[in-house]
Amino acid sequence: MLKICLIGAGSTVFAQSILGDVLSNPALQNATISLHDIDETRLSTSYVVANRIGQTLGLSNLKVEATANRREALRDADFVILMMQVGGYKPATVTDFEVPDSFGLNQTIGDTLGIGGIFRGLRTIPVLFDICRDMEEVCPNATLLQYVNPMAINCWAIKEQFPHIKTVGLCHSVQETSHQLAELLGENPADLSYLCAGINHVAFYLKFGKVLPDGEFEDLYPRLKAIAQHGPIPDDDRVRFDLLKRVGHFVTESSVHFSEYNSWFLKRGRQDLLEKYNLRLGEYLYRCEEQIAEWHQLRHDLEGDAPLEVEQSNEYAAGIIRSLTTGENGLIYGNVPNRGLIENLPDDAVVEVPCHVDRNGIQPTRIGRIPDHLASIMQLSINVQRQTVAAAVTGKREHIYHAAMLDPHTAAELSLDEIWSLVDRLIEAHGNWLPVYR
């Protein structure tokens, strides 16, 4: 019997999506579901939801466990799915925004790059290392499915310290963006054929088209480029379509995310740019506040008596588990060590590429060389990722300064003295959420 462990299962909505996908598959319905979270209130809600999914699907023998003891949750697991947010909304995420704001450094999401992404990585990596140490002892053969941001930083750190753990980083940006573009073009997502490669949140579609009834490939890029030139451009995607005009390829992550991975779209005091690109500073804080306000009603609904609808999501976790378990061929986009997969990116970086999945494991596809200007854009992020991982692995404070110094948006807004002071203030403000840096 398979055992699937969800760490951070108190993220109930996401856990509901993953469990709905898993338990809808007949090959996986005999699995034991093990739920863990440090928030026992949210954990109890997810426990109820997991059992209600089983009831909806008629799984009378479903076994669901919930525990605040992480090692027990992990014991003998075959698959471990990470979905936690270390430090939560308050105090950690709010600190990631409020301290930089006091320096005049504004962010939109702050979970992947920028000063917010750096510090989210620094407080998350020690927890990841603790989980990996537990896995080595209680489930050494398990496959780790890593959903936690900052994706590339987290996966890179795991690779450095626990290279023998089977792991892949998972995001929904590639498949979700492809569906968004299909809807914009009036196409069926099932007809799309594309190749995407890069790093998480800064990957580009190298090919984007559809398969015609006669089997021929039709390139859809001319239609996307026509929208970029002549409109109408979706209001929430002005950044990505402007970038398409400049670099000739469409990036996978949303406009509000991508706007802070560079020095081009967010400028101190430039309200005109915010209006031009339809960006809201502190966007992630607004989203968190809305989700918190909705939580109590959501909990009431999820724990109520009304039928719980089980829908299929576009997440990869269930498909990976199915393919590794049954041998059925699958294709995902995963975050894995580069090691020559993309020739003009560093070998030690973590890249996002198509991967075949079957009983032999998760097998990344070698892409070769990508356009140099796209690789150069990605390198801006890789510089920051490398220094953040170095700080987490060595415990040396100097690497945090260097990561912030190399971050494109931070460097465009602050002087070196301000960057050093900002790092010091954030380390102090995060307190025990961070280890001691020398």
Helix (H), strand (E) at residue 43 = helix 40-56
Per the domain annotation, does 411 fall within a domain? yes
| Total domains present in the chain | 2
188 phi, psi to nearest 5 deg: -80, 120
Q: What three-state secondary structure class fits 298?
A: helix
Choose one of 169, 190, 219: the last residue of a domain.
169
The predicted pLDDT at position 177 comes to 98
Q: What three-state secondary structure class fits 90?
A: helix
Residue 431, both tokens? 């307190």
Please check if 201 is assigned to a binding site.
yes
| 233 and 160 part of one domain | no
| 196 and 277 part of one domain | yes
Q: How many CA atoms lie within 13 A of 232 on its CB side?
A: 4
| 92 and 226 part of one domain | yes
The predicted pLDDT at position 422 comes to 98
Cα maximum dimension of the chain: 63
| 132 and 239 part of one domain | no
Per the domain annotation, does 177 fall within a domain? yes
Per the domain annotation, does 298 fall within a domain? no
| 97 and 154 part of one domain | no
Please check if 171 is assigned to a binding site.
yes
| 164 and 182 part of one domain | no
Token pair 């009378």: residue: 60
Q: Return the closest-CA partner of residue 4 out of 29, 36, 43, 31.
A: 31
Cα 305 from chain centroid (whole Å)? 33
| 353 and 412 part of one domain | yes
| 149 and 272 part of one domain | no
Q: Which residues are catalytic?
A: 172
Please report how the helices 416-430 and 114-138 are oriented relative to each other, as an axis angle in degrees rounded to 10.
Answer: 40
| 144 and 43 part of one domain | yes
Helix (H), strand (E) at residue 399 = helix 397-406
Per the domain annotation, does 290 fall within a domain? no
Per the domain annotation, does 289 fall within a domain? no
Cβ atoms of residues 17 and 11 within 8 Å: no
Per the domain annotation, does 267 fall within a domain? yes
How far is residue 315's CA from residue 332's CA, in Å, rounded to a whole number? 9
Identify the burial level of 251 via C-beta atoms within 10 angstroms of its C-beta, where 0-12 means exposed, 13-18 middle and 19 or more buried. buried
Per the domain annotation, does 325 fall within a domain? yes
| 135 and 7 part of one domain | yes
Q: Return the closest-CA partner of residue 346 out of 382, 390, 392, 399.
A: 382
Choose one of 138, 169, 200: the last residue of a domain.
169
- State how beta strands 192-199 and 166-169 pair: unpaired
Q: What three-state secondary structure class fits 356?
A: strand
| 249 and 376 part of one domain | yes
Per the domain annotation, does 437 fall within a domain? yes
Q: The CATH number of the domain where 277 resides is what?
A: 3.90.1820.10
In the 8-state DSSP scheme, what is residue 228? Answer: H
Cβ atoms of residues 261 and 381 within 8 Å: yes
| 69 and 211 part of one domain | no
Domain span at residue 321 reads 87-109+170-281+315-438
The predicted pLDDT at position 327 comes to 96
Q: Return the closest-CA partner of residue 341 out of 369, 372, 320.
A: 369
Rounded mean pLDDT of the chain?
A: 96
Choose one of 150, 169, 188: the last residue of a domain.
169
Intervals of the chain under pLDDT 50: none
